Amino acid sequence: MKLPFSNKKKGHLEYKSISSWFHGESVPKGFAVEYGSGRRPDFKVYVDQYCELRKHLFDNHIKTLPDEIQKQLKSGQHPSQTHAKIMQAEPVMQRLKTILSGLDFIDNVSIKNAQMDLVQFNVILKTEPTVEQAELIPEFFEGYIVNMVWNHNG
C-alpha cells in the first residue's frame, strides 16, 4: 500500500550553494518574481526549495562560526539582526571587501538595510556572474547574508 506522502529525500538540500542549485536544477531566472506576480504558480516548488536550501546553508554556516557569534545569532543579539547595530557591520564588510578585492568582475561591496530589520551585504557585480564566478562569492559571511547584485538589463 502506497501512502499519499513520502519520505523522499530533499535533493536540493545536497547542493553546497544557491548558485550550484540554480545551475544543477536548471532553475528559471526570475522564478521568484514570476511566482510572486501570480503568472507562474507552478514556480512555487522553486520558491520552496530556495527557502529551504538558503536556511539549510545558513544553519551550516552558523556551525562554522566561533561560539560567541553563534550565541549572538541564537539570542538575536548579532549585529546582522537589527538596523540599530549597522555600524558594527562596517569592519566585517571591509574584511569581505578585502577577501573579494582580487576579483575583477566585482564592482563594490556595500551594506544593505534589509527587510525585517536585517543587515546584509550586497556584492555589486559588473555583469551577471558565471557559475564559476558566483561560487567565488560567499553566500554568508561572519553571520551576515551576502547578496549578489548586478544590472539585469546591462
Give the tens place of pLDDT for each residue, 13-23: 999 999 899 88
Cα–Cα distance for residue pair 120/28, rounded to 1 Å: 25
Q: Which contacts (CB < 8 Å, 24+ apart) does range 45-54 have?
A: 49/10, 49/12, 49/21, 49/25, 50/18, 50/21, 52/10, 52/12, 52/13, 53/12, 53/13, 53/15, 53/18, 53/21, 54/18, 54/139
Residue 145 has pLDDT above 50, yes or no: yes
Q: Global pTM?
A: 0.84
Question: Could you read off the pLDDT of 27-40 as tens digits, one per residue?
Answer: 888 888 888 888 88
Q: Is the pLDDT of residue 65 over 60?
A: yes
Q: Specify whether the CB–CB gap between 137 and 146 falls below 8 A.
A: yes
Contacts for 121 with CB less than 8 Å, ≥ 6 apart: 89, 92, 93, 96, 109, 110, 111, 112, 141, 144, 145, 146, 147
The pLDDT of residue 154 is above 80: no
Q: How far is CA 76 from its chain centroid?
A: 19
C-alpha cell at 50: 530556495
Instruction: List, in order of start, the domains of the chain with CATH numbers.
Output: 13-64 (no CATH), 79-154 (3.30.300)
